[in-house]
Amino acid sequence: MSQAVLGARVQRKEDARLVRGRGRYTDDIRLPGMLYAGVVRSPYAHARIRAIDTRALEKLDGVVRVYTGQDLKGRLGSIPTAWIPPDSDLKTVEHPALAYDKVRYVGDGVALVVATSRGVLEDALEAIRVDYEPLPAVYDQLAAMKQGAPQLHQDAPQNVALHWRAGTDTEDAFRRADVVVRRTFRQQRLIPNPMEPRCAVAQYDEATGELTVWATTQNPHIHRFLMANILGMPEHKLRVVAQDVGGGFGSKIACYPDEVLVGYAARDLRAPVKWTETRSEHFLVTTHGRDHVDEVELAGTKDGRILAVRVRAYANLGAYLSTAGPGVPTILFGLIVNGAYDIEAASSEVYGIFTNTTPVDAYRGAGRPEATYLIERMIDSYAREIGMDPVEVRRRNLVKKDQFPYTNPFGLTYDSGDYHQTLDLALKTLDYDALRQEQAALRQQGKYLGIGFSTYVEMCGLGPSQVAGAVGFQGGLWESALVRVHPTGKVTVFTGASPHGQGEETTFAQIVADRLGVPLDDIEVVHGDTDRISMGWGTYGSRTTAVGGGALALAADRVVAKAKRLAAHMLEVPEAAVEFEQGRFYPEGDRRRGVSLQEVTLQAYLAWNLPSDLEPGLEASAFYDPTNFTYPFGTHVAVVSVDAETGEVRLLRYLAVDDCGPVINPMIVEGQVHGGVVQGIGQALFEGARYDQDGQLLTASFLDYAMPKARSLPRLETLHTVTPSPHNPLGVKGVGETGTIASTPAVVNAVMDALSPLGITDLPMPLSPPVVWEAIQAARQSGGVS
């Protein structure tokens, strides 16, 4: 059985309910007497609030209560950030749940309205008149740092929220270099858009003083921890529950004002209160991702050896510091800008900047896509500069198999890998030489075909708690698991991770089924409830299987260990002489006699005849803290054609060769790779938030914000190599973000390769038809090449 279940293409257990509309999302909750809350939001990016006139509400039936920022000032704590990178001079500015003096981005909340129905609520939100005094606004991080730029916060001169550096000295390497390549890249702002917008329902029990908040969160325990502080209530009286959550991509990590306000209102009004985000609100107020301007320099020899890389990044953090906001462009970005390459010297310097825009936080990959984009684009730029095939440059610089564990210039220790193997497999699968010949032939006909590579590595499986502390994350990064075998042999598994679409109800059941030898259907995975799970740190940073799964494996092993002692007692043999296989305990070498785990469990609960030192019952918990991050890696290749007349980029092929260690469920891994790759393609070709000079978000709906669509995608090809990580009991590495991390530069490299006959070296993302077309027009006019 163990052979069958681990590594098997098991259908997702959760899909039975999800695909039939039987999922239970937060917005599905209906409670007797439930009220509806909504937020009056600023249409200005920067303005002083002169007055709020709520008189019109008196004419509306069903308005229960209005709270303004002034009403709540002093009653609610500031919304905090939970990541304070060391030595970064981080300005932890106040973030009130409702603005009381100034609004700082379009969408900033100024009042909360509670009503008896959503219809009344929306009428009421419109009826409130806010008198604003508009102030000059700034949406661009470089403009925000300039002298005389509008100031968002008194305590952050020139809008600098943080300044952080890491790495080694690079001067010497740059002096020795034959070639120095310099580029400035803009990595545009992205809007996560999970299928389910955010939602929160809160209910206060006057008798017990307990507040329950159901919320769309990736990490209910972190929410409880932060919200207890903001609301000023004891942590054990606050319960946070994440039921089914329809995707997050990082946007449901943060603790937002809205969920806190709902909790406050429910307690204050002694009535259940619901708030549901509209898609329009989602565009404006749920955290955005990326938004970097990066100055990068690469020093190399003319025969393709990279000597040093240095990066100066300007990260737009938005109007306030989001929960993980400061950690994303520093720790998760600046420590891995050398990528998968053995580069002696590297440094990063990061400015985090406040602007009149939606706060920026983690978005699938969080920092690592930004770092990977830089190094992968630089590799291709360098290759072009020295006239070498970009594959050859990669081959010469990738960390070699015998160098692991490899310590990079920032002190990270890459666990294990065979980077060249994924590259070789990709080249063979593609028939690379033939593809280059085809490209040359098409160029003769004036057609543009491009091939782009990304040989990435990333750090995930966040991560040892000691490191979390060292890098300023205000929490631990271990994970908890409890495996409970019920008297009949059925199993409930409790995990502190909080999967919300990644399929761990299935993969975790597979891990436990493998360890305990019980059928998959007998295992239920419970997650996302602070009352049912003692503690946990949630799901993000591709940590759930590596860390949460690790905890689970340990807990399951502890269950088996205890059962084994009882089995020995039942079989009347010494414990050392008991073997456990596929759910049955046997005396060593004797397969005729034996007891099943189920029989042992029943005896453990009956406790009629236990060894004198054995407690009744059968369950075990584990609090597992990994020894290091995990470092999945691989080679992604995009093949594109460019329609020079329209500027349209067509993806002809996309190949992903990934190594995430042993695969627990190939179908789920493929699904993660597919989704991730498509999100990265989205950044390369389609997505991008645009603001106008006054800080109005111009891409505030799907009419203007382009998500990748099935019609724009080829059939994705996925392959795997397997290099276990020595850092966790299962040897697994995260795979939730690799696709996003790898695909953006692969696609952009492919387009630049296609356009190289025109002398085009770089274009700003997204490489939309007009961007590409205008570049081709300009190149033809200036160079006359075609």
Partner 1 sequence: MIPSAFRYRRAQTVAEALDLLRQEPEAKLLAGGQSLLPLMKLRLARPGTLVDISRIDELRRFEVRPDRVVIGAMVRYHQVLANAELRARLPLLPQAVAVIADPQVRHRGTVGGSAAHADPASDLAAVFLAADAEFVLQGPQGERRVQARDWFLGPMMSNLQPDELLCRIEIPLAWPPHQAYLKFPHPASGYALAGVAALVSRAPDGSVEDVKVAVTGAGQLPFAAQGVTAALKGQTLSRQLMREAAERGAADGTYADDGPYSAAYRQNLARVMIERALAKASES
Partner 2 sequence: MELKGHRVIEASPDVCYRLLTDPDVLVRTMPGLKRMTAREDGTYEAEMEMGVAAIRGRYSGTLAIQDRVEGTSYRLVMDGQGPGGFVNVNLSVRFDAVPEGCDVSYDGEAKVGGTVAGVGQRMISGVASFIMNQFFSNIAKEAKQHVG
Residues that bind partner 1 (CB under 8 A): 118-119, 121-123, 126, 278-280, 645-648, 685-686, 690, 698-699, 702-707, 712, 768-771, 773-774
We find the least distance from the C-beta atom of residue 267 to partner 2, in angstroms, to be: 30
Which of partner 2, partner 1, none binds 51 (CB below 5-8 Å, type-dependent)?
A: none
Nearer to partner 2 (CB atom), residue 195 or residue 703: 703
Q: Is 786 among the residues that bind partner 2 (CB under 8 A)?
A: no
Nearer to partner 1 (CB atom), residue 17 or residue 279: 279
Q: Is 704 among the residues that bind partner 2 (CB under 8 A)?
A: yes
Nearer to partner 1 (CB atom), residue 295 or residue 648: 648
Cβ-contact 526, 532 below 8 angstroms: yes
Both structure tokens of 551: 């905890």
- The span from the CA of 728 to the CA of 545, in Å, is 10
CA neighbor of 509 nearest in space, from 489, 491, 527: 491
We find the least distance from the C-beta atom of residue 702 to partner 2, in angstroms, to be: 9
Angle at 31 between CA 26 and CA 37, to 5 degrees: 70
Q: First CA to last CA across the chain, in angstroms?
A: 62
Helix, strand, coil in percent for the chain, rounding step 5? 35, 25, 40
CA neighbor of 656 nearest in space, from 642, 676, 640: 676
We find the least distance from the C-beta atom of residue 673 to partner 1, in angstroms, to be: 23
Which of partner 1, partner 2, none binds 534 (CB below 5-8 Å, type-dependent)?
A: none
Which of partner 1, partner 2, none binds 773 (CB below 5-8 Å, type-dependent)?
A: partner 1
Nearer to partner 1 (CB atom), residue 191 or residue 660: 191
Length of the chain: 786
Q: Is 563 among the residues that bind partner 2 (CB under 8 A)?
A: no
We find the least distance from the C-beta atom of residue 125 to partner 1, in angstroms, to be: 10
Nearer to partner 1 (CB atom), residue 674 or residue 690: 690
- The span from the CA of 12 to the CA of 341, in Å, is 36
Q: Is 696 among the residues that bind partner 2 (CB under 8 A)?
A: yes
Nearer to partner 2 (CB atom), residue 283 or residue 404: 283
Q: Are strands 595-596 and 584-587 parallel, antiparallel or unpaired?
A: antiparallel
Q: Which of 253, 271, 284, 567 binds partner 2 (CB under 8 A)?
A: 284
Nearer to partner 2 (CB atom), residue 154 or residue 278: 278
Q: Is 437 among the residues that bind partner 2 (CB under 8 A)?
A: no
The residues in 89-148 that bind partner 2, with binding defined as CB under 8 A, are 106, 126-127, 129, 134
Q: Identify which range of 279-287, 370-378, 482-490, 667-675 contacts partner 2 by CB under 8 A.
A: 279-287
Residue 558, burial from CB neighbour count under 10 angstroms (0-12, 13-18, 19+): middle
Q: Is 492 among the residues that bind partner 2 (CB under 8 A)?
A: no
Cis-peptide into 136, omega within 30 deg: no
We find the least distance from the C-beta atom of residue 109 to partner 1, in angstroms, to be: 18
We find the least distance from the C-beta atom of residue 583 to partner 1, in angstroms, to be: 48
Helices 666-681 and 738-754 cross at an angle (nearest 10°) of 50
Contacts of 168 (CB under 8 A, 6+ apart): 344, 345, 346, 347, 409
- The span from the CA of 104 to the CA of 101, in Å, is 10
Which of partner 2, partner 1, none binds 278 (CB below 5-8 Å, type-dependent)?
A: partner 1
Nearer to partner 1 (CB atom), residue 561 or residue 698: 698
Cβ-contact 459, 331 below 8 angstroms: no
Nearer to partner 2 (CB atom), residue 700 or residue 760: 700
We find the least distance from the C-beta atom of residue 698 to partner 2, in angstroms, to be: 5
Q: Identify which range of 302-310, 426-434, 698-706, 719-727 contacts partner 2 by CB under 8 A.
A: 698-706
Angle at 758 between CA 755 and CA 761, to 5 degrees: 60
- The span from the CA of 381 to the CA of 178, in Å, is 15
Which of partner 1, partner 2, none binds 303 (CB below 5-8 Å, type-dependent)?
A: none
Which of partner 1, partner 2, none binds 466 (CB below 5-8 Å, type-dependent)?
A: none
Which of partner 1, partner 2, none binds 43 (CB below 5-8 Å, type-dependent)?
A: partner 2
**Helices marked H in 572-686:** 597-606, 666-681
Nearer to partner 2 (CB atom), residue 280 or residue 488: 280
**Helices marked H in 286-418:** 331-334, 368-386, 390-397
- The span from the CA of 524 to the CA of 722, in Å, is 29
We find the least distance from the C-beta atom of residue 57 to partner 2, in angstroms, to be: 13
Which of partner 1, partner 2, none binds 127 (CB below 5-8 Å, type-dependent)?
A: partner 2
We find the least distance from the C-beta atom of residue 695 to partner 2, in angstroms, to be: 9
Q: Identify which range of 424-432, 610-618, 692-700, 766-774 contacts partner 2 by CB under 8 A.
A: 692-700
Contacts of 191 (CB under 8 A, 6+ apart): 282, 283, 286, 288, 289, 687, 689, 699, 705
Q: Which of 6, 12, 38, 44 binds partner 2 (CB under 8 A)?
A: 44
We find the least distance from the C-beta atom of residue 282 to partner 2, in angstroms, to be: 11
* Residue where the block lists tokens 């436990």: 512
Contacts of 252 (CB under 8 A, 6+ apart): 194, 198, 216, 217, 218, 245, 500
Nearer to partner 2 (CB atom), residue 127 or residue 656: 127
Contacts of 72 (CB under 8 A, 6+ apart): 96, 97, 98, 100, 261, 264
Q: Is 434 among the residues that bind partner 2 (CB under 8 A)?
A: no
Angle at 223 between CA 21 and CA 467, to 5 degrees: 115
* Residue where the block lists tokens 């257990």: 13
Q: Which of 700, 732, 741, 754 binds partner 2 (CB under 8 A)?
A: 700
We find the least distance from the C-beta atom of residue 126 to partner 2, in angstroms, to be: 4
Nearer to partner 2 (CB atom), residue 197 or residue 334: 197
Nearer to partner 1 (CB atom), residue 400 or residue 709: 709
Q: Which helix (H) or strand (E) holds 580?
A: strand 578-581
Which of partner 1, partner 2, none binds 706 (CB below 5-8 Å, type-dependent)?
A: partner 1
3-class state of residue 9 by DSSP: coil
**Helices marked H in 177-217:** none
Nearer to partner 1 (CB atom), residue 184 or residue 280: 280
Nearer to partner 2 (CB atom), residue 36 or residue 414: 36
- The span from the CA of 40 to the CA of 275, in Å, is 12
Residue 691, burial from CB neighbour count under 10 angstroms (0-12, 13-18, 19+): buried
Q: Which of 117, 184, 280, 782 binds partner 2 (CB under 8 A)?
A: 280
Which of partner 1, partner 2, none binds 700 (CB below 5-8 Å, type-dependent)?
A: partner 2
Nearer to partner 2 (CB atom), residue 82 or residue 284: 284
Q: Is 54 among the residues that bind partner 2 (CB under 8 A)?
A: no
Cβ-contact 491, 475 below 8 angstroms: no
Give Rg (Cα) of the chain. 28
Nearer to partner 2 (CB atom), residue 31 or residue 143: 143
Cβ-contact 542, 734 below 8 angstroms: yes
Helices 419-430 and 390-397 cross at an angle (nearest 10°) of 160
| CB contact burial 454-485 (16+ within 10 A = b; e otherwise) | bbbbbbbbbbbbebbeebbbbbbbbbbbbbbb
- Please work out the total of residues on this chain that contact partner 2, with binding judged by CB under 8 A: 20
- The span from the CA of 23 to the CA of 626, in Å, is 32
Which of partner 1, partner 2, none binds 168 (CB below 5-8 Å, type-dependent)?
A: none
Q: Is 302 among the residues that bind partner 2 (CB under 8 A)?
A: no
Q: Is 698 among the residues that bind partner 2 (CB under 8 A)?
A: yes
Residues that bind partner 2 (CB under 8 A): 43-44, 106, 126-127, 129, 134, 280, 283-284, 692, 694, 696-701, 703-704
